[in-house]
Amino acid sequence: MKKFLKEIFSGTELVGTMNLITGIIMSLLWSYFALQWWSVAFGFLSVFFLIEAIWHYILTDYLRYIHKDRQKK
């Protein structure tokens, strides 16, 4: 069980980090091509990936909180 929970934490953190990096790259692309009409797609994708990164970090913290609470009992 301990190994399983460790894999969950590292997996969600890894996905969150990848989403954060992708969101930052998309934001930079959006700002570079700001005068082009199709750059709006980069803007939407950057917002999506940044929200997903925040969600994964919140999920990881929540799972850690539950795990610590269960260890105390």
Residue 62: its pLDDT value, please? 84
pLDDT one digit per residue (tens) for the chain, 73 residues? 666 666 656 677 888 889 999 999 999 999 999 999 999 999 999 999 999 999 988 888 888 788 777 777 6
Q: What is the spatial distance between Cα 40 and Cα 61, in angstroms, rounded to a whole number?
A: 32
Q: Does residue 49 contact residue 26 with C-beta atoms inside 8 Å?
A: yes
Whole-model pTM above 0.85?
A: no
Q: Does residue 17 contact residue 64 with C-beta atoms inside 8 Å?
A: no
